[in-house]
Amino acid sequence: MTTATPDRTLKADDLFSLEHYARTRPAFRARVLEHKKLRNIGVGPHTTWCFEDRLTVQYQVQEMLRTERIFEPEGIADELESYNPLIPDGANLKATLLIEYTDADERHRALVLLKGLERRCWLSAGSDKVFAIADEDLQRENATKTSAVHFLRFELSAHACAALKRGALVELGVDHDAYRYQVTTSAATSRALAADLA
């Protein structure tokens, strides 16, 4: 008998009001930044993978509501609809991919060379490579270049989920002609990612 996957999506009742968030933001922000330390992983010199979960997404929603001064139910619902798909559902891992170059001209040239990189990102946890499903919300690549930000989803097999829960280290990599790098996460990061699974 299989158990139902818990609903991890954020609801309006899970969020702080603007007034409450203004009071608690410094402490909440510090908590989230500490939480992200294990979840932000550099793969090579120019990409960072930020693995999302319910807490990181709540922080993004709270910041958006604060910045845009959104307090009406319809506006809050719109933000939740936009951000909830970034929360892993128990059988996958989800990440924001950042392609980072400090020099604007170098970044522009690199984004041309790295076209398609988001589809060549892979993850392995005691199993074969799983390539990312990229940018399901909207197209971020055009005919000439890729974007500096992408959203990735990695659908894991039951074997990979079980291996990760047993303590397998996660390997991350990019197999692109202009960018080939691979890293193995720490045990602490692998445990943090395992917590995203059902």
Domain ranges of the chain: 14-194
Whether 170 contacts 122, CB under 8 Å: no
**For residues 122-135, average pLDDT:** 93
Q: Is residue 69 over pLDDT 60? A: yes
Looking at this protein, which amino acid is placed at residue 114?
A: L
Residues linked to residue 150 through DSSP beta bridges, in sequence order: 97
Q: What is the pLDDT of residue 1?
A: 41
| Single-letter amino acid code for the residue at 44 | G
Are the C-beta atoms of 41 and 185 separated by less than 8 Å? yes
Tokens 């999506």, residue located: 9
User: Is residue 132 classed exposed, middle or buried when 0-12, 13-18 and 19+ CB atoms within 10 A define those classes?
Assistant: buried
Give the pLDDT band of residue 8 (cuts 50, 70, 90): confident
Per the listing, tokens 């097999």 go with 157
Please write the tens of the pLDDT for every residue from 129-160: 999 999 876 667 777 899 999 999 999 999 99
Q: How much of the chain exceeds pLDDT 70, in percent?
A: 95
Res 35 pLDDT > 70: yes
* Alpha carbon distance 148, 100 (integer Å): 7
Residue 3 predicted with pLDDT over 70: no
Q: How far apart are CA 183 and CA 61, in angstroms?
A: 30
